[in-house]
Chain A
Amino acid sequence: MSRNNGMDRRQLLKLAGLSAAGLGLTAAGCGSGSGGSGGPVTIRHSWWGADDRAKKIQQCVGLFEKKHPKIKVKTDFQQYPDFWKKFNTQAAGGNPPDVIQNAVTFLRKYEAKNVLLDLSPQVEKGNLDLGGFRSGLEKFAEIDGKLLGVPVGSNSMALVIDEKVYEKAGITPEIGWTWDDWYAGLQKIKNGQKIAGDAGPHGVMYLYDLILRQNGKAFFTEDGMGFGEAELLPYWTEALERVEAGLYADPNKVEQIKPASATAKGLSAGEFTWDNFSVRYSAEGKSSYGLAPIPSTDGKKTGQYLGSLMLSGTARTKHPAEVATFISFMTHDPEVARIMGYDRGVPATTAQFEAFQPADAPSKAIAAYETSIADAGVLEPITPHPAGADVIEAAFLRIGADLALGKTSPKDSVKQFFSEAKTALAAN
Chain B
Amino acid sequence: MTHIQISPGAVAPGDDRSVPGRSGSQDGPPANAAKRPGRGENLAGYLFMSPWIAGFLFLIAGPMVFSLYLSFTEYNLFEAPRWIGLQNFSDMFADPRWRQSVEVTSWYVLIGTPVKLAAALAVAMLLAQKRWGQSFYRAAFYAPSLIGASVSAAIVWRALFSDDAIVDRTQKVLGFEVGGWIGDPEMIIYALIALTVWQFGAPMVIFLAGLKQVPQELYEAAEMDGAGRWRKFFHITLPMISPVLFFNVLLETIHSFQIFGSAYIVSNGSCGPADATLVYTCYLYEQGFVNSRMGFASAMGWLLLVAVGLVTAVLFWSQKRWVHYEEGGR
On whether the beta carbons of B55 and A27 are closer than 8 Å, the reply is: yes
Stretch in B71-79, B220-228, B314-322 with 4+ CB within 8 Å of A: B71-79
Task: Say yes or no: is B34 at the interface (Cβ < 8 Å to chain A).
Answer: no
CB-CB under 8 A from A20, the residues of chain B are 51-52, 55-56
Closest to A255 in B: B183
Q: How far is the CA of A121 from the CA of B56 in the complex (A)?
A: 46
Nearest CB of A to B265, in Å: 12
Task: Say yes or no: is B229 at the interface (Cβ < 8 Å to chain A).
Answer: no
Task: Say yes or no: is A186 at the interface (Cβ < 8 Å to chain B).
Answer: no
Instruction: List the 4 closest A-B pairs by CB distance, nearest first.
Output: A2-B329, A255-B183, A20-B52, A92-B77
Task: Say yes or no: is A428 at the interface (Cβ < 8 Å to chain B).
Answer: yes
> 0/1 per residue, A388-428, Cβ < 8 Å to B?
00010010001001100101100000001000000110011
Per a CB cutoff under 8 Å, which of B7, B54, B162, B206 touches A9?
B7
> 0/1 per residue, A67-102, Cβ < 8 Å to B?
000000000000001101100110110000000000
Nearest CB of A to B270, in Å: 7
Interface bracket on A: 35 or more
On whether the beta carbons of A6 and B209 are closer than 8 Å, the reply is: yes
On whether the beta carbons of B76 and A428 are closer than 8 Å, the reply is: yes
Task: Say yes or no: is A143 at the interface (Cβ < 8 Å to chain B).
Answer: no
Task: Say yes or no: is B244 at the interface (Cβ < 8 Å to chain A).
Answer: yes
On whether the beta carbons of B329 and A21 are closer than 8 Å, the reply is: no
Closest to B239 in A: A1
Given known A-B contacts A9-B6, A391-B290, A255 and B273 have beta carbons under 8 A apart: yes
Task: Say yes or no: is A172 at the interface (Cβ < 8 Å to chain B).
Answer: no
CB contact list, A241-274 vs B, under 8 A: 251-259
Closest to A19 in B: B52
Q: How far is the CA of A84 from the CA of B55 in the complex (A)?
A: 29
On whether the beta carbons of A401 and B273 are closer than 8 Å, the reply is: yes
Q: Is the interface of B mostly helix, strand, loop or mixed?
A: loop
Task: Say yes or no: is A23 at the interface (Cβ < 8 Å to chain B).
Answer: yes
Q: How far is the CA of A398 from the CA of B10 in the complex (A)?
A: 57
Closest to A415 in B: B96
Given known A-B contacts A20-B55, A252-B179, A92 and B78 have beta carbons under 8 A apart: yes
Task: Say yes or no: is A135 at the interface (Cβ < 8 Å to chain B).
Answer: no
Task: Say yes or no: is B203 at the interface (Cβ < 8 Å to chain A).
Answer: no
Per a CB cutoff under 8 Å, which of A6, A251, A398, A416 touches B96?
A416
Given known A-B contacts A8-B7, A24-B55, A424-B291, A1 and B183 have beta carbons under 8 A apart: no
Task: Say yes or no: is A126 at the interface (Cβ < 8 Å to chain B).
Answer: no
CB-CB under 8 A from A2, the residues of chain B are 243, 325-326, 328-330
CB contact list, A127-148 vs B, under 8 A: none
On whether the beta carbons of B291 and A391 are closer than 8 Å, the reply is: yes
Task: Say yes or no: is B110 at the interface (Cβ < 8 Å to chain A).
Answer: no
Q: How far is the CA of A317 from the CA of B112 in the complex (A)?
A: 49
Given known A-B contacts A253-B163, A405-B273, A23 and B78 have beta carbons under 8 A apart: no
Task: Say yes or no: is B240 at the interface (Cβ < 8 Å to chain A).
Answer: yes
CB-CB under 8 A from A424, the residues of chain B are 291
CB-CB under 8 A from B74, the residues of chain A are 427
